[in-house]
Amino acid sequence: MKLNLFVWNHDLSIKIPTIIRTATFDDFNQTKAWQTNWTSRAAKAMPNKVALCRKDDNELLGLMSYEVNNCGLAVEVIYLESAAHSNANLLHKGLEGKKYIGISHALFAHAVMASMDAGFDGVLYFKAKTSRLREYYIEEFGAMPLSSFDPFRLAIWEDAAATLVQEYLVEEDSL
């Protein structure tokens, strides 16, 4: 089985096919207006950087860095960012309006697949950035808290991982 990733347009009426590939220098050069400049030294040091792009025009939608953790038997989502056009702060700087929904969902699905490929049954762990995102991950992705001392530590275990990728899965022959 393979993933046929997609995102939604802003009113959830159109499914937009996407692809995921290894991020390139050209991708990083497009992040100068993003929250994080991916050409920075810290970003350069991050492993396994992938880019989510529209299938039709190759427009960059999001970037993610992840790492396979053999001690934890899981994939760690290190950093994930969606493109500036989805960033309300940057709208005030004259960039286009919000265009897509589901960028993080598609990138998380790719991380689940990386975990499956590594033999970890889709298990992921990561740290939510805000309380609202923490609730979103728990409700929508089936993430589970790992600690009461640090409630932002979350994991997506096997069953939730399988559910997360379900809507993207297709037979390899149909791609």
Mask for 74-93, x = binds other proteins (CB under 8 A): x-xxxxxxxxx-xxxx----
Mask for 130-159, x = binds other proteins (CB under 8 A): x-xx--x-------xxxxxxx-xx-x-xxx
Tokens 């991020």 sit on residue: 23
**Shortest CB 37 distance to other proteins, Å:** 13
Residue 161 and residue 119: Cα distance in Å, rounded?
13
Instruction: Name the helix (H) or strand (E) containing 48.
Output: none
Tokens 């994080």 sit on residue: 36
* Segment contacting other proteins by CB under 8 A, of 22-30, 48-56, 97-105, 166-174: 97-105
Alpha-carbon separation of residue 125 from 29, 108, 154, 157 (angstroms): 28, 11, 6, 9
Looking at 1, 129, 167, 170, which residue binds other proteins (CB under 8 A)? 129
Position 165 contacts other proteins (CB under 8 A): no
Position 45 contacts other proteins (CB under 8 A): no
Tokens 């050069």 sit on residue: 29
Vertex 73: Cα angle to 24 and 62 (nearest 5):
25
Looking at 126, 143, 165, 168, which residue binds other proteins (CB under 8 A)? 126
Instruction: Name the helix (H) or strand (E) containing 38.
Output: none
Q: Which residues bind other proteins (CB under 8 A)?
A: 10-12, 35-36, 69, 71-74, 76-84, 86-89, 98, 100-104, 125-130, 132-133, 136, 144-150, 152-153, 155, 157-160
